[in-house]
Chain A
Amino acid sequence: METTALPTLNYLNNGHGLKSWLLTRDHKRIALLYLFSVTAFFALGGFFALMIRLELLTPAADLVQPDTYNKLFTMHGVIMVFFFLIPSIPAVLGNFLLPIMIGAKDLAFPRINLLSWYIYVLGGLFTLTAAMTGGIDTGWTFYVPYSTQASNSNVILAGLGVFITGFSSILTGLNFIVTTHRMRAPGMTWFRLPLFVWSHYATSLIMILGTPVIAITVLLVAVERGLHLGIFDPALGGDPVLFQHLFWFYSHPAVYIMILPAMGVISELVQAGARKNIFGYTFVAFSSLAIAIIGFLVWGHHLFVSGQSTYAGLVFSILSMFVAIPSAVKVFNWTATFYKGAVSWDSPTLFAFGFIGLFTIGGLTGLFLATLGMDIHMHDTYFVIAHFHYVMVGGAIMGYLGGLHYWWPKITGRMYPEGWAKFAALMVFVGFNLTFGPQFFVGYLGMPRRYAMYAPEFQVWNVLSTAGATILGLGYLIPIIYFTWSIKNGAIAGANPWGARGLEWEIPSPPPTENFAVTPIVTERTHQYAPSREVGIV
């Protein structure tokens, strides 16, 4: 561990100049291309979020007009969902780590991997153009007939952006699935796969099965809006609720595209943090698949107040209860993994603690919304906003940040200042809870979402929320600063700064372009810090 210099030849210095990056087929360099682009989109989406919170400081629409506000929350949602959350962990950490974790030299289709980044950027440019030239005001959900007949904004352009970027997801998913099936090193059996790989495998299944549906759906919106073909608009003989079925058939599983990779990250962080193999490996691995499968059958819980039949509501309610179980199983197994561990308090583990707390709140409040009689009141209120931010921000972004902290030494070969990282983890945790905690209360009080103006009695909760958002924003800014600083100035990390197990820690940091000089032979599961034994607990 007492290394004083970076490896002389690694993937970062193997080729210089812009061309060597833009035409690279190295999964690690493509991961960094994604890292820069998703960070840019995150900053933009975060800026919109900050504007939203500032506007909601007072009940009146005084900072921005309602039309502007409607565009702000739409752009915030579109960018954060399609251009940050969905690609973030899979395309950055997954791209970087999945081949290394299974002992491969690259993904199965390196050119397709690069293509998927270009498609992502192209889709992003369409959506950015839509944002710059007047914006879009339909909400990220594009509900019809508002989006097809009423909105005066760039619906088609933004929709095309989502349509195009979907193909990047499909190609990434395809690449991961083929790689996991075909490229595992000798001895890397399915039940020796790191849980990070299992969760990315499950995510990839959703990506290739679900994404085509959203692509078709936004295309149909564009067709109805542009050509006035009646598909969803009842004035043209269509059915607006059909759109909601199609939209949520993808967009509910898309929530699992966002959270499953984060769960994979947390499984790694928990094991490395506790220096202990995961409690109940097969249950954690299969719960990812269970989430991917059941997750496709719960979309109708977004339609409880739409006029969907009562019996459909019952079916979707009970299925939504089922999908909570594998998530609960994961949380219990992570918790149990800390038992008799050697638990570090390093920054990645702090993010993992934060994830477990916030995701548990996010998951449990999901049960309120799956409960039919309860959802009627809470539907489209701030309770829903709070719930899904606890899952997507408290869950997915905590996981992403935790993963970045854990693998940053591997990616760059250098350490970041640990004290600042701990401070950032604390800021994010406190700021997040202060931002979104109050929204549960104001939601139960009845404050509807997507309101530029609101009733005065809701103000105190909104002031708390805006105060929290300021802290949260700083918490996100600090890592961007020290990560950037560490690239040149951080201490040399060495191959395995955490004393963790896993193929990625057996190669130099940063890794050589080919990852492994000699293909490794795997003889046991990762994170076996001591010989495993069956321990009776109950």
Chain B
Amino acid sequence: MFTNFPFFPQVASEQASQVDALYFFLVAVTGFFMALVAILVVVFAVKFRRRHNDEVGVAIHGSLALELLWTFIPLGITMVMFFWGAQVFFHMTRAPKGAMEIYVVGKQWMWKVQHMDGAREINELHVPLGVPVKLTMGSEDVIHSFFIPDFRVKADVVPGRYNTLWFTATKPGRYHLFCTQYCGTKHSAMIGWVTVMEPSEYQAWLGGGPAGGSMAENGAKLFQDLACSTCHLENGQGRAPSLKGVYGSTVTLANGQTVTADDAYVRESVLNPQAKVVAGFQPIMPTFQGLVTEEQLLQLIAYVKSLGGGQQGATK
């Protein structure tokens, strides 16, 4: 009846093999201790079983040496788990420079994906094989979570902020995409597929999509339409700072603090401009909360990014 009896998810990303190695280590170590306790309990229960009704055990007070032994050996082993786990985690949370960027917006109950060149898809994600891909994700409503089991990667998609995850796919194919943070009625239908293609096929696939301009081009158009450009003059003579070269640079604020101009900063500056005012400028910018959608925000960010700037923007 059931021919499909899988034990392990596929290994389809660079991260997956690292996580699996850690998993096998954990299974081996915990399996050993589980067996140790189980065997000891069974052996003692049989060997020292009560043979007549008045029998009592030998009064043993305890043993400091044993207590120290079974405190510090497990402690040492858990520290190995901690450091190994932390190492895998650090690798997972730090996307390599130059990773291909894709933007994801979660909403009840679908995943909306925008590629940098403008291609869009819903509940599908096409990525090239062997290339580090970084997803920057926001939510329109409640918290979602973006999970690709065969890649062993996951991140919550939280309204009001950007979370990122990255992976390098290592095997062509189609893989499950699940929402793992409960989000209401169709939580279990907020699923999709990740398609891993050869880079050349991926380029062909991008070309086949509807033409609508790249994300940065759409962002530039919005920049005009929302009249951002009337104050943010490129020559720096406007009422608001020029955005040229800002992305990824360190910005000095009116209160003397400094901040790195990353995705989160640009987002906050659009939605809550008074929060961080650039030194030398007046807090006169109105909020655009409710006037731009999550996807438009991502396009604006892509536009600001396209104006050049310092290093790769580090998003949290």
Contacts and interface: CB of A to CB of B under 8 A. Distances in A.
Given A146-B183, A240-B143, A307-B316, A456 B4 contact: yes
Interface string B1-35: 01011111100000000110011001000100110
B260 to A, nearest CB: 14
Nearest to B37: A360
Nearest to B161: A307
Contacts of B57: 274-276, 340-343, 529-530
B78 A325 contact: yes
A190 interface: no
Interface SS of B by simple majority? mixed
A21 interface: no
A372 interface: yes
B139 to A, nearest CB: 9
A453 B191 CA distance: 10
A359 to B, nearest CB: 10
Nearest to A150: B142
Interface string A517-538: 0000000000011111111111
B143 A332 contact: no
Interface stretch (B45-53, B118-126, B203-211, B230-238): B45-53
Contacts of B34: 360-361, 364
A187 interface: no
Interface stretch (B60-68, B247-255, B298-306): B60-68
Given A314-B86, A371-B82, A374-B85, A276 B58 contact: yes
B62 A321 contact: no
Given A139-B182, A307-B158, A460-B4, A377 B19 contact: yes
A444 B23 CA distance: 10
Contacts of B61: 277, 281, 532-535
Query: Which bracket fits the contact residues of B?
Result: 35 or more
A376 interface: yes
Interface string B184-203: 11111101000000000000
B30 A365 contact: yes
B88 A276 contact: no
A151 B141 CA distance: 12
Nearest to A139: B182
Interface string A313-336: 110011001101100110111011
Contact of A376 (B45, B141, B153, B187): B153
Interface stretch (B96-104, B172-180, B219-227): B172-180
B37 A356 contact: yes
B149 A343 contact: no
B281 interface: no
A142 to B, nearest CB: 11
A313 B156 CA distance: 14
A449 B50 CA distance: 45
A379 B154 contact: yes
Interface in A60-86: 61, 66-67, 70
B150 interface: yes
Nearest to B151: A377
B188 to A, nearest CB: 4
B25 to A, nearest CB: 9
Highest count of chain B CB atoms <10 Å: which of A338, A368, A463: A338
A459 interface: yes
B91 to A, nearest CB: 8
A345 B42 CA distance: 11
Given A234-B160, A365-B30, A377-B149, A276 B59 contact: yes
A442 to B, nearest CB: 9
B74 interface: yes
A338 B49 CA distance: 9
A451 B191 CA distance: 11
A499 B78 contact: no
A283 B2 contact: no
B37 A451 contact: no
B112 to A, nearest CB: 18
A367 interface: yes
A367 B78 contact: yes
A150 B182 CA distance: 12
Given A145-B143, A240-B160, A367-B30, A535 B63 contact: yes
Interface in A95-128: none
A370 B189 CA distance: 29
B12 to A, nearest CB: 11
A314 B84 CA distance: 11
Interface string B83-94: 011111111110
B74 A309 contact: no
Given A340-B60, A343-B48, A310 B90 contact: yes
Contacts of A143: 142-143, 181-182
Nearest to B7: A441
B79 to A, nearest CB: 7
Given A233-B159, A499-B54, 15 more contacts: A146-B183, A274-B48, A277-B60, A280-B63, A310-B93, A324-B74, A324-B78, A339-B44, A342-B48, A345-B49, A372-B88, A373-B86, A446-B147, A448-B188, A531-B59
Q: Ordered nearest first, which 7 A-B pairs have the shortest CB separation?
A: A446-B149, A373-B88, A234-B160, A276-B57, A371-B85, A372-B89, A341-B57
5 contacts: A322-B75, A340-B48, A376-B153, A448-B180, A450-B188
